[in-house]
């Protein structure tokens, strides 16, 4: 009788240990992807090309606008 209780306790322990390790791996993978995405966003913000604006005349000509730097 005690042997079966110990087996049952061992199965429960193994079940929770295995699921803990699976969740820990998943957490590490998700954390890695979050760090990569955050780095990509920071890179995009820091190295984004300057925007260019254009104006059109009443005749339909497109003229690039000069942006004054502050």
Confirm whether 69 is domain-assigned. no
Q: How does pLDDT run across 3-53, given as a tens digit for each residue?
A: 788 888 888 888 899 999 999 999 999 999 999 999 999 999 999 888 888
Number of domains in the chain: 1
* Of residues 67, 70, 38, the one with CA closest to residue 55: 67
Query: What's residue 27's pLDDT?
Result: 98
Confirm whether 43 is domain-assigned. no
Q: How does pLDDT run across 6-17, given as a tens digit for each residue?
A: 888 888 888 899
pTM passes above 0.75: no
Q: What angle do CA 65, 68, 70 make, to 5 degrees?
A: 155
Confirm whether 26 is domain-assigned. yes
- DSSP conformation class of 57: -
Domain that holds residue 9: 1-30
Confirm whether 57 is domain-assigned. no
Query: What's residue 32's pLDDT?
Result: 98
Confirm whether 42 is domain-assigned. no
């Amino acid at each position: 009788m005690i042997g079966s209780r110990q087996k049952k306790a061992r199965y429960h322990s193994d079940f929770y240990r295995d699921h803990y390790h699976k969740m820990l791996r998943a957490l590490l993978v998700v954390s890695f992807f979050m760090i990569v995405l955050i780095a990509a966003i920071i890179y995009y913000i820091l190295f984004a090309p300057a925007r260019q604006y254009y104006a059109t005349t009443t005749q339909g000509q497109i003229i690039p606008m000069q942006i004054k730097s502050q």
